[in-house]
A and B are shown apart, each in its own frame.
Chain A
C-alpha cells in the first residue's frame, strides 16, 4: 500500500478532530467519574460570573452617570494589560507545548508539517491562556452593553471581537517563543526568562511610581483626575487594545437617530476588520516562523548539555541538615530533599516569586495614596484575604499533590528507617515555614504602608500565622487522606476531587478568619474614629475590647483546628495506606 501525505486542510481537519475527541472524552470522564467536581466547578464558575457581572453592572451604572469619558480609558487599560499578560502566558504555554511535551515528540515523528503541529498546540495554548479573559471579559462587556442600552448588534459582535483580539497577543507570544528557542540555547534561555520577568517587574514598578505619586485623598475628584492621567499611556492608536476598546465603544453606541447608530456600528465593523486582518496576518507569520524554526529549535533544545549540579550541598541544605539535635533528623533530611526539588522545579518557584513578588510591589506602592483610617483598615483586611487566597492556591496546587507524588518513590521511603508520620510532618513543616516567611513579610509591608496601628498589625500577624498553619494542615492532611498514586502530574492530582475539596475548604477557612478579624477590628476602629456607635448593640459588642480579644481567640482556635484536625486524619489514613 502506498501511503500519502496529507495536504494542509486535511492536516488541520485531523488535528481538529483529535482535539474534539480529546475534549469530549475528557468531559464525559469528568461527568461520569467526578460528578461532584464537575458540579462544583460549574456552580462556582456561575457564581463567579454572576458576581463579576453584578460588580461591573454597578460600576458602569456609576461611571455612566458621572464620568462617561472614563470608559474609554478603563477599557484601554484593561485590554492593554490583558494583552501583555496574554503575550507572556501564551509564550510560556507554547514553550511547554511545543518543546517540552511528550505529544510534540510524538507528532514530530509523524508525517505532519511543522506548521500543523504548531497550529494544533497554538489552539490549545490559546484556549488555556484566554479562558480567564472570557470568564472576566464576558460579564464585563455584557454588563456594559446593558447599562449603555447597546443595540443588539453589539452583543453579536462581542464574540468575533474577542476571538479575533486574543489571537493577536497569542500569536506574538508564540512567535517570540519560537524565535527565542531557535536563537538561544537552553542555558541562555533560562537567563533570558528570568531577565524578562525582571524587566517586566521593573517596568511595572517604574511606570507605577512615575505616574503613581498621587498625593490626593483617595476617591476624591483630584485623586480621580490624577489616576486617569496615569492610565492615559494605554491609549495608543497603534495598540490592538485601542482598536478593541474603540470598536466596542462604537458598537455599544446608540445614537439619537437610527442613522447615527448605524454609522457607529459601521465604525465598529471597521475596527473589527482591522483586528481580524492583524490577527490573520500574525497567525500567518507565526505559521511561517514555525515552518522555518520549529524543527531546528526542537533539535537544538534536545542537544543541550544538561546542567551539572555541584557535589557540595547548597548552604541552606547544609544548614538544615546540621541544624538542631539528632531528634527529628529524618524530618530534616526530608525537608532538605523537598527544598532541593522545589529549587530545581522552575514551575514552582517561578510562580511563587511572580505572585508574591507582584503582591509585594502592589503593597509597596500603597504608600502612594492617602487614606482615611477606615479605608486603610478595610484595605488591610482585604490584603490579608488576598495573601491567604494566593497561599491557598499554592498549597492546593503544590502541597496537596506532594504526598501523592511520593507514590512512585514510596518504596524508597518505605525501606528507609522513617516512620510514616514523619513524612506527613515534613510536608507540613515545609509548607508552613515556606508559606509563613513571605506571608508575614507581605502583611508587615502592607500594614506599614497603610500606616495601621500596631494593635491591628499584631492581630493581622496572628491571622497570618493561623492561615499558614491552617492552609498547610488542610492541604497536607487532605493530601494524605486522599492520595492519588497513579497520577504523575501534580496539576492533575490537584484538579481531582481531593484537590477541589481542599481548595474549597481553604477558601472557607480564609473567609472565616478574615471576616472574624475584619468585623471586630473595623467596628473598633469606627468607635475610635467617630465615637460611640449608636443604636446597634451587636456592632458595639463586636467593636469593644472584649470583642477584639474574643476574635483573636477564635482565630487561634480556628487556626489550631484547621491545622491539626486534617493533619491527624491524614496521618491516620497514611499509616494504614498500602500503595
Chain B
C-alpha cells in the first residue's frame, strides 16, 4: 500500500509536485499519466527514496520513506526508465546479488532465480556479462530482479520501453496476476493505451497537480460523444493547463 500525504517537492522556486494526496491500496495497479515535465518522475523518485519531499510524507506499507527508508525499501521493487546493471556481472550473478540483499535463504533463492530466469526467458544470456546485453535483455533482467523478492509494492517508470511484444505480454500478464495476489503497482507511462488496458485507477498529472484521479470507466464517463476518444479527453485535461488547448481543439 502506498500513501502520499500532502507531498510537495520544489526545485528552487519551481513546484514540481504540489500537495499530492493519494492512497493506492493493496492489489491495485495505478497508472500515472501526464505530459513531459508534469512531475511524474519527481513523484517516482520520491516514492523510491531518491528524492525527499520538501513537505508532507510518503508511506510504503506503513513505513515512512524518510525515517524508515530501509524498512520501506524491503517492500519495494523498482524498474526505472534507465535501469542500472553492473556491466561486469552476469545476469545470474546480478540476481544472486539481489537475492542476498533481501536475505533470501540460499535454498529458496536458487529456486527464485530459476523461476525468474524461466519467466523472463533469460536462459540464453544469463551467464553472459551484462555489458553484452541489448536494451531489451537489460530490461528483462531488471524486471526479473524486481520480481525476485516478491515485493508488496512495485514501482515502474515507463516499463515497456525496449521490450519486444512477447516480453510486453509476459509483463502484462504477470502484473495482472500479481495485483490479483495483492501486489500494489505504481506505474508511470506515456502510453495511454497501456494505462487503459492495465490500470485499475489512473491519475493525470499536470504541472505538479493531479488533474484527474479515478478509474478508467470514470474517465470514460467524461467522454460525452462518439467523436471524442479517451486520447482526446486526456489531451484536453493536460492542454488546459499547459496552454496547448487551441492546438488540441484544432486537432479534434
Please report A residues at the B interface, Cβ cutoff 8 Å.
1, 3-6, 10, 14, 17-18, 21-22, 25-26, 29, 102-103, 105-106, 108-113, 295-296, 298-299, 302-305
Interface residues of B in 146-160 (CB under 8 A from A): 149-150
| Residues from chain B with Cβ under 8 Å of A29 in the complex | 88, 129
Is the Cβ of B84 less than 8 Å from the Cβ of A112?
no
Distance in angstroms from A382 CB to nearest chain B CB is 40
Is the Cβ of B49 less than 8 Å from the Cβ of A14?
no
| Residues from chain B with Cβ under 8 Å of A5 in the complex | 70-71, 74, 103
| Residues from chain A with Cβ under 8 Å of B11 in the complex | 303-305
Interface residues of B in 1-29 (CB under 8 A from A): 9-12, 14
Distance in angstroms from A52 CB to nearest chain B CB is 30
A106 to B129, CA, bound (A): 18
Distance in angstroms from A110 CB to nearest chain B CB is 6
Closest to B47 in A: A109
- 27 A-B residue contacts at CB 8 Å? A1-B108, A1-B149, A3-B103, A3-B150, A4-B103, A18-B86, A18-B89, A21-B88, A25-B89, A25-B90, A25-B129, A29-B88, A102-B82, A103-B84, A109-B48, A109-B49, A109-B76, A111-B70, A111-B73, A111-B102, A112-B73, A112-B101, A295-B49, A296-B52, A303-B11, A304-B12, A305-B14
A115 to B149, CA, bound (A): 23
Is the Cβ of B102 less than 8 Å from the Cβ of A22?
no
| Residues from chain B with Cβ under 8 Å of A303 in the complex | 9-11, 51, 54
Q: Which among B12, B45, B82, B93 is the interface contact of A305 at CB below 8 angstroms?
A: B12
Is the Cβ of A110 less than 8 Å from the Cβ of B129?
no
Given A5-B74, A299-B51, verify A105-B84 contact (CB < 8 Å): yes
Closest to B9 in A: A303
Given A1-B104, A25-B88, A303-B10, verify A108-B49 contact (CB < 8 Å): yes
A304 to B93, CA, bound (A): 35
Is the Cβ of A295 less than 8 Å from the Cβ of B52?
yes
Is the Cβ of A22 less than 8 Å from the Cβ of B89?
yes
A302 to B50, CA, bound (A): 8
Is the Cβ of A102 less than 8 Å from the Cβ of B84?
yes
A1 to B70, CA, bound (A): 17
Interface residues of B in 49-63 (CB under 8 A from A): 49-52, 54
Distance in angstroms from B36 CB to nearest chain A CB is 15
Is the Cβ of A302 less than 8 Å from the Cβ of B45?
yes
What are the 5 tightest A-B residue pairs by CB atom distance, in nearest-first order?
A: A111-B73, A106-B84, A102-B84, A305-B12, A4-B103
Is the Cβ of A3 less than 8 Å from the Cβ of B97?
no
Other 19 A-B pairs with CB < 8 A, given A3-B149, A299-B52 = A1-B104, A4-B74, A4-B102, A17-B100, A21-B88, A21-B89, A25-B93, A26-B88, A103-B84, A105-B84, A108-B50, A109-B49, A109-B76, A110-B73, A111-B71, A112-B73, A113-B70, A298-B50, A303-B51
- Whether, in the assembled complex, B30 has its beta carbon less than 8 Å from a beta carbon of chain A, the answer is no
Is the Cβ of A295 less than 8 Å from the Cβ of B69?
yes
A81 to B71, CA, bound (A): 44
Distance in angstroms from B144 CB to nearest chain A CB is 15
- Whether, in the assembled complex, B186 has its beta carbon less than 8 Å from a beta carbon of chain A, the answer is no
Distance in angstroms from B24 CB to nearest chain A CB is 18
Is the Cβ of B100 less than 8 Å from the Cβ of A14?
yes
Name which of A10, A17, A18, A111 has the most chain B CB atoms within 10 A of its CB: A111
Q: Which among B14, B50, B75 is the interface contact of A109 at CB below 8 angstroms?
A: B50
Is the Cβ of B86 less than 8 Å from the Cβ of A112?
no
Using an 8 Å CB-CB cutoff, how does the interface string of B168-204 with A read, 1 for contact, 0 for none?
Answer: 0000000000000000000000000000000000000
A105 to B82, CA, bound (A): 11
- Whether, in the assembled complex, B78 has its beta carbon less than 8 Å from a beta carbon of chain A, the answer is yes
Interface residues of B in 74-96 (CB under 8 A from A): 74-76, 78, 80, 82, 84, 86, 88-90, 93
Interface residues of B in 92-127 (CB under 8 A from A): 93, 97, 100-104, 108
Number of interface residues of B (CB under 8 A): 38
Q: Which among B12, B52, B69, B74 is the interface contact of A3 at CB below 8 angstroms?
A: B74
Name which of B82, B100, B149 has the most chain A CB atoms within 10 A of its CB: B100
A26 to B108, CA, bound (A): 29
A26 to B82, CA, bound (A): 23
Closest to A24 in B: B88
Interface residues of B in 117-142 (CB under 8 A from A): 129
Q: Which among B76, B93, B104, B149 is the interface contact of A21 at CB below 8 angstroms?
A: B93
A302 to B86, CA, bound (A): 22
Closest to B149 in A: A3
Is the Cβ of A112 less than 8 Å from the Cβ of B70?
yes
Distance in angstroms from B115 CB to nearest chain A CB is 12
Q: Which among A1, A103, A109, A298 is the interface contact of B150 at CB below 8 angstroms?
A: A1
A14 to B93, CA, bound (A): 12
Is the Cβ of B70 less than 8 Å from the Cβ of A302?
no
A25 to B78, CA, bound (A): 26
Distance in angstroms from B73 CB to nearest chain A CB is 4
| Residues from chain B with Cβ under 8 Å of A106 in the complex | 84
Is the Cβ of B50 less than 8 Å from the Cβ of A22?
no
| Residues from chain B with Cβ under 8 Å of A14 in the complex | 97, 100-101
A103 to B84, CA, bound (A): 7
Is the Cβ of A299 less than 8 Å from the Cβ of B93?
no
Distance in angstroms from A519 CB to nearest chain B CB is 47
A106 to B48, CA, bound (A): 10
| Residues from chain B with Cβ under 8 Å of A295 in the complex | 49, 52, 69
Closest to A27 in B: B88
Name which of A3, A5, A103, A298 has the most chain B CB atoms within 10 A of its CB: A3
Q: Which among A26, A105, A111, A296 is the interface contact of B74 at CB below 8 angstroms?
A: A111
Is the Cβ of B104 less than 8 Å from the Cβ of A3?
yes
A103 to B86, CA, bound (A): 8
Name which of B14, B70, B90, B129 has the most chain A CB atoms within 10 A of its CB: B70
A479 to B10, CA, bound (A): 44
Distance in angstroms from B44 CB to nearest chain A CB is 10
| Residues from chain A with Cβ under 8 Å of B80 in the complex | 105, 109
| Residues from chain A with Cβ under 8 Å of B50 in the complex | 105, 108-109, 298-299, 302
Distance in angstroms from A520 CB to nearest chain B CB is 50
| Residues from chain A with Cβ under 8 Å of B78 in the complex | 109
Is the Cβ of A302 less than 8 Å from the Cβ of B51?
yes
| Residues from chain A with Cβ under 8 Å of B69 in the complex | 295
Distance in angstroms from A302 CB to nearest chain B CB is 5
A575 to B74, CA, bound (A): 53
A10 to B99, CA, bound (A): 13
Closest to B48 in A: A109
| Residues from chain A with Cβ under 8 Å of B73 in the complex | 109-112
Distance in angstroms from A57 CB to nearest chain B CB is 38
Given A109-B73, A302-B50, A303-B9, verify A3-B86 contact (CB < 8 Å): no
| Residues from chain A with Cβ under 8 Å of B88 in the complex | 21-22, 25-26, 29
Closest to A13 in B: B100
| Residues from chain B with Cβ under 8 Å of A26 in the complex | 88
Distance in angstroms from B26 CB to nearest chain A CB is 16
A26 to B131, CA, bound (A): 11
Closest to B71 in A: A5
A298 to B51, CA, bound (A): 8
Closest to A305 in B: B12
Closest to B88 in A: A25
A367 to B86, CA, bound (A): 51
| Residues from chain B with Cβ under 8 Å of A110 in the complex | 73, 101
Distance in angstroms from A9 CB to nearest chain B CB is 12
